[in-house]
Structure 1
Amino acid sequence: MTTALVVIDMQMGMLGDTPPPYRSDAILRRIAGLLERARSSGTPVFHVQHDGGPGDSLAKGTPGFAHHPMVAPRAGEPVIEKRHVGTFHDTDFDAQLKRAGIDRLVIAGLQTEYCVDTACRAAVALGYKVALVSDAHSTFDTPVLPAAQIIAHHNKTLGGPFVELVTSDAVAF
């Protein structure tokens, strides 16, 4: 099985929000650690970057579009730019993974109930094995639920027979 680390939407337009995503400092540290381990083991790393379009805090060409420096891509690491919630939707991500012979994805990043959830579901539908890093994805509080409950709910909903749940310190590359 050939594994890749996929880091989703760790951009300044989300991480610079007030308030920031739930436990964003811890998430940044965990993803930075995952990147270090993946890179040192030779595991391919893919970064996903959302372009929200004109007027959006994640619009291409704005400061918010930039990756957070702690988890920014290095030379040679592919960046998948997307315009939709789905990493695979209208991108060549699936083709890039297939060309690289990758069949297992380790997923971390933002935002739990949108892009992270959608990436997990689409990847499984396309035949990939998926490991969701249960303590390395986050979101914001909503008027209905606090972020901690949203994260716990998605870990419970996605985990098990659908995707493998793994903590950041237990990820195997």
Structure 2
Amino acid sequence: MTTALVLIDAQRNMLHGPDAVPAAPRVGPALADLLARARAAGAAVVHVQNDGGPGEPDEPHTPGWELVHPPLPGEAVVRKTAPDAFAGTALADELARAHVRTAVLAGMQSQYCVAATARGALGQGLDTVLASGAHATYDEDASAHAISRAVEEDLAALGVRVLPADRLPLTPQTR
């Protein structure tokens, strides 16, 4: 079964500058490592890019909207306007074209786009893996760390495999 790394909203507004997520110094390198390992293994890579509204930090074609990791030739970019990257996009088609059965998810924000996309992946019948340590969010009613942990627990209860990002095997034929 083919594996894909799906990088969700790894955009400059979330990972760089004064308004980055609190865990950016830790999560940024974890995302870069996952991406490098996926590329080296020949796994499929899909970059998901959120299109924010006018005046938002991720408004299209603004510095904050730019992807932190520029896609290489052959890597898909899927733009979205809803939290679930499968909703109204070509993500399912991109993964089907690459014969993907396992989607490894990482990126921003844990309780919004990451969680919604994980549920969407399950709904597509994909073996869904969340890369622990490679997703993050902002502080809200709880700390960003607590929110991310709660998301991992909730998704695991739904059938998402939660595995440490630094120990994920990223190969084209992984289960």
Asked whether the two chains share a fold, i.e. TM above 0.5, the reply is yes
Distance 1:127 1:168 in 2: 22
Structure 2 equivalent of residue 13 of structure 1: 13
Change (3 A) 1:170 1:160: farther
Structure 2 equivalent of residue 153 of structure 1: 150
Distance 1:72 1:134 in 2: 22
Deviation (angstroms), 1:172: 1.1
Change (3 A) 1:157 1:21: same
- In structure 2, give the amino acid aligned to 1:164: R
- In structure 2, give the amino acid aligned to 1:8: I
Distance 2:158 2:116 in 1: 17
* Contact persistence 2:2–2:101 (CA under 8 A): yes
Query: Per-residue displacement from partner, 1:53-79 (whole Å, max 9, x unpaired)?
Result: 2221111111111012xx332222110
SS in 2 for 1:59: coil
Identity of aligned residues (%): 36
Structure 1 equivalent of residue 4 of structure 2: 4
SS in 1 for 2:105: strand
Report the aligned-residue RMSD. 1.3
* Contact persistence 2:107–2:135 (CA under 8 A): yes
Higher mean C-alpha deviation, range 78-87 or range 18-27: 18-27
Distance 1:43 1:72 in 2: 16
- Residue 33 (str. 1) matches residue 33 (str. 2): yes
Query: Per-residue displacement from partner, 1:83-140 (whole Å, max 9, x unpaired)?
Result: 1111011101101111111111000000000000001001001100001001100000
The count of corresponding residues between Structure 1 and Structure 2 is 170
Deviation (angstroms), 1:17: 5.3
Deviation (angstroms), 1:39: 0.6
Distance 1:159 1:169 in 2: 18
Change (3 A) 1:161 1:117: closer
Distance 2:154 2:65 in 1: 30
- In structure 1, give the amino acid aligned to 2:133: D
Structure 1 equivalent of residue 114 of structure 2: 116
* Contact persistence 2:15–2:28 (CA under 8 A): no
SS in 1 for 2:100: coil
TM-score of the aligned structures, taking structure 1 as reference length: 0.93
SS in 1 for 2:29: helix
Distance 2:37 2:15 in 1: 23
- Structure 1 residue ranges without an equivalent (≥5): none
- In structure 2, give the amino acid aligned to 1:136: A
Deviation (angstroms), 1:16: 3.4
Distance 2:113 2:66 in 1: 17
Structure 2 equivalent of residue 164 of structure 1: 161
Deviation (angstroms), 1:14: 2.0
SS in 2 for 1:122: helix
* Contact persistence 2:7–2:107 (CA under 8 A): yes
Distance 1:12 1:161 in 2: 30
